[in-house]
Amino acid sequence: MATLIAALLLLASQIYWAIRIHRLASRRLSTRTRWVVCGVIFAFYFLAVAYNSDRLFEFPSYGPQPDPTRLGLADFTLALLQWWLLCSLLAFLLAFPLGIFYAAIRRTIGKSQRRSAPLPPQPGESMDRPILPERRHFLEQAAAGLLAAPFLAGGYALLYERLNLQIIHKQIRLSHLPQEFNGFRILQLSDIHISAFMPEEQIRKYAVIANSLRADLIALTGDFVTWDPSAERAVVSALSDLKAPFGVFGCLGNHDAWAGVKDSIESRFAAAEITILRDDCWPITNGACQLNLIGIEPDYGWTDHRVPPHLTAEDLPNILLSHYPTVFDHAAVLGIDLTLSGHTHGGQVNLDFISPTIVPKVFHTPYIAGHYQKNDAQLYVNRGIGTIGLPMRAGVPPEITLFELIS
């Protein structure tokens, strides 16, 4: 039912904007020019919809994409169409209350003008007198500004905030951290999603930034590819520049599983001296002391993720790499000190102004972004650097996180 309502609203919004565009053209252009301009606009629109129909209205297939590692015509037109559909729908939803407000203002001003008029209205004259030109101009400009806001915000989310990287510094206090690891620095990079909008060159730039932070250990928490398995070579090549004294480790994400690259991408990372932990653990040794680093395998579900109990070490601090943050409840039961996750992109688009429950429902978890604690167990959910679906971020910029462990 919700899908049907959304589809009807989207259809209504497109009809509304077609009428608005035609009326605007009729005010500014001659009849012949108007039909030419409107014809070109509508032809481009329908061709873009037809060209991208298989990727626009259906969940993307787990297979080759037109341009898996660089921006081509197909991805450019798809992104432009997605931007238009989302922003035009939001602007359409604003238009209704604006129309009601404008009608109310018109009626109020009309009554005020009648009361101040020296003569009564003549027979046949409307009781609601027209709004004065200067007031009409102000109201039209204000309405136009409000309707333009979604388009401007969408452009900002697509062109700027999607790449507005934040470096987050976070101190994590572990109750039984060995003194040798006091001040130990772990850098987390998550949800790479190599794609047309996160090409290999951009990932290399992030790798350079990560190396400049001089972490002791680098943790990668999954979703290296998006849909196309052929992109794995490029993403591994870009991340192979990562270096840290205690090593670079990672776990896989659901997109790596869906694309069918779990085994092959693990082998490629191993050749680049990056260790992918798949239901496995690895001792991080500093002098006579150790940390127990755990990485778990992603499954195909959304909930009830668990840690194999045999991977934990009772006498060592346990740090878990899990793409899904839904594992945190079980990790806390097992006494795992710190869990590093991703997957949610922080919601990618902040929808709290509609309802703060939307994103948690979509991801089936209350753990969306940032730091969480349950007794002595802690979780950090990284917003990632890539995007999925709409190549936009709004109120949820990408991040690289640098943790400092303290006792």
pLDDT digits over 4-29, tens only? 888 899 999 999 899 888 888 888 88
Confidence band of 257 (pLDDT split at 50, 70, 90): very high
> Is the pLDDT confidence value at 138 over 70?
no
Distance CA(167)–CA(159), nearest Å, equals: 19
- The 3-state DSSP class for residue 203 equals helix
Confidence band of 118 (pLDDT split at 50, 70, 90): low
pLDDT-wise least confident of 28-37, 104-113, 199-208, 375-384: 104-113
Residues 6+ apart with CB under 8 A from 346: 368, 369, 370, 381, 383, 384, 396, 399
pLDDT value, residue 70 = 78
Q: Classify residue 291 by burial, with Cβ atoms within 10 Å: 0-12, 13-18, 19+.
A: buried
pLDDT-wise least confident of 138-147, 251-260, 358-367: 138-147
* Average of per-residue pLDDT across 273-291: 96
> Is the pLDDT confidence value at 294 over 80?
yes
Q: How is residue 100 written in tokens?
A: 């009601």
Residue intervals of the chain classified under CATH 3.60.21.10 are: 168-406
> Residue 59 has what DSSP assignment?
P
> Is the pLDDT confidence value at 268 over 90?
yes
pLDDT-wise least confident of 106-110, 257-261, 369-373: 106-110
Instruction: Indicate the CATH number of 168-406 among 3.30.930.10, 3.60.21.10, 3.60.20.30, 3.30.70.150.
Output: 3.60.21.10
Q: Across the beta sheet with 280-286, what order do the strands follow?
A: 280-286, 289-295, 318-321, 338-341, 377-381, 370-374
Decide if 342 contacts 191 (C-beta within 8 A).
yes
Q: Closest Cα partner for 165 from 217, 209, 227, 222?
A: 209
Residues 6+ apart with CB under 8 A from 287: 180
Number of neighbours of residue 230 by Cβ within 10 angstroms: 14
Q: Closest Cα partner for 216 from 379, 405, 385?
A: 405
Q: Rounded mean pLDDT of the chain?
A: 87
> Residue 364 has what DSSP assignment?
T
Sign of CA dihedral 105, 111, 113, 115: negative
- The 3-state DSSP class for residue 213 equals coil
CA terminus-to-terminus distance, the chain: 52
Number of neighbours of residue 354 by Cβ within 10 angstroms: 8
Q: How is residue 207 written in tokens?
A: 């790798």
> Is the pLDDT confidence value at 114 over 60?
no
Instruction: Give the global pTM.
Output: 0.85
pLDDT value, residue 22 = 85
**CB environment 182-220: b (16+ within 10 A), e (fewer):** eebbbbbbbbbbbbbbbbbebbeebbeebeeeebbbbbb
> Is the pLDDT confidence value at 359 over 90?
no
pLDDT-wise least confident of 3-7, 45-49, 139-143, 323-327: 139-143
pLDDT value, residue 109 = 62
Q: Classify residue 61 by burial, with Cβ atoms within 10 Å: 0-12, 13-18, 19+.
A: exposed
Q: How is residue 204 written in tokens?
A: 């290399």
